Structure 1
């Protein structure tokens, strides 16, 4: 529901074509980051940057470069053009473009899009993911008049994947395939919505025995399919993501 809410807010203010490309690119960045594919995650950021650049063009100049047409280089001249626009707030003229430009430079000058001295790494990929999240949250805030914290919450929910084996209509939550074992259900739930507490996980898969369920979670941690943070939240490892995707493909 969170993804639909964020998408609905964005499309009230911005062209749907741009919003669709932008959310897809953001999801790809986040997905490959979760798999620890640093280079792929950083490369996907290029699609996100180009999508948001088109949104900026639409906001400042009333039209945008078609997706069928390649955009020119992103350089200081482009930043100057945005800043010198006669209409549009500082967010579109200055703040968002400079964040995008930093993302673009990381992608192009740190061994991602081209050979460089520094290979793709977690620190650079983390910067890109969080920068993309900030841009997206800012756009949600501007489009819907949301407070920054609420906009950030909506963006977090975009990362919830659509899993056909799970029924989640915002009111009910249920793993529909009763033949799946409890550990498989745990991986599916975390694949859809990562970072959940053990009790929340137990309730979502409707497992009645608390002590037995705790052993299941601990077993998944030992097998390195999940990890448990210091504040007690369960999160999928790259191995867990791969296993969850195998379960989905097999059913």
Structure 2
């Protein structure tokens, strides 16, 4: 099983790590549930947490107990670049701070209302925000992981998971909100959204299929068309490159 983000960020203080993961989950969940304004707002809060982590790391891993907002966010990020090279990697000193500034500006400068604009930009802003947030989280795992490189790579892959707006996570299940889709297409979407694969029992729960034996025929058909890889012995399914292309070109196009 892949190592969790909590374990991968094990070098960070428990409370600060918890704030980071909680806020990131809020960003991705809001995007899945089509709450564009909330996605953008929460990504701004994520920036403040990440800044706190970077500042503490570059100060000799002297982390505060909780995250706080600097008085002038863009200036504070630029000040991190002035830290000596011995303080930390180029990613921590330069790359990540430069990524934080435009993401933070989406909330503070663009304004989530966009009153008077020709086009409602909330969805566009939310799309940028969620993918930038995913990249930032993956980079933090790369810097702070307390696990093997192989395990950290798996965590990074799961963090840059494909977020599909027509999917809605409810507890342990994921619902496909487009009720007009057939069982095969719904299965492809669920597998597309999870890069590490999904167990058949989780798929049946999400798709409300009472008879696993019958549902296995769907998985076998998709496997036969090479849209997925289905291992009946383990019960795991993973979408193939062909399946990814099919989802992106047929199911996710506007």
State the TM-score, normalizing by the size of structure 2.
Answer: 0.61
Q: Give the conservation status (yes or no) of the 8 Å contact 2:192–2:244.
A: no
The separation in 1 between residues aligned to 2:157 and 2:203, in whole angstroms, is 21
Quickly say closer, same or farther: Cα 1:21–1:105, change in 2 above 3 A: same
* CA-atom RMSD in angstroms: 4.4
How far is 1:163 from its partner? Answer: 3.2
The aligned counterpart of 1:131 is 132
Which blocks of at least 5 consecutive residues in structure 1 are unaligned? 167-182, 215-227, 238-251
The aligned counterpart of 2:156 is 152
Quickly say closer, same or farther: Cα 1:231–1:202, change in 2 above 3 A: farther
Q: Is 2:2 the partner of 1:6?
A: no
The aligned counterpart of 2:32 is 34
The separation in 2 between residues aligned to 1:151 and 1:211, in whole angstroms, is 28
The separation in 1 between residues aligned to 2:100 and 2:59, in whole angstroms, is 18
Quickly say closer, same or farther: Cα 1:203–1:120, change in 2 above 3 A: closer
Q: 2:41 aligns with which of 36, 40, 43?
A: 43
How far is 1:121 from its partner? Answer: 2.0
The separation in 1 between residues aligned to 2:173 and 2:246, in whole angstroms, is 28
Give the 3-state SS of the residue equivalent to 2:246 in structure 1.
coil
- Count of aligned residue pairs for this structure pair: 200
How far is 1:192 from its partner? Answer: 11
The aligned counterpart of 2:122 is 121
* C-alpha distance after superposition, 1:92-137 (max 9, x if no partner): 1110011111100111111228978575422221111111111111
Give the 3-state SS of the residue equivalent to 1:209 in structure 2.
helix
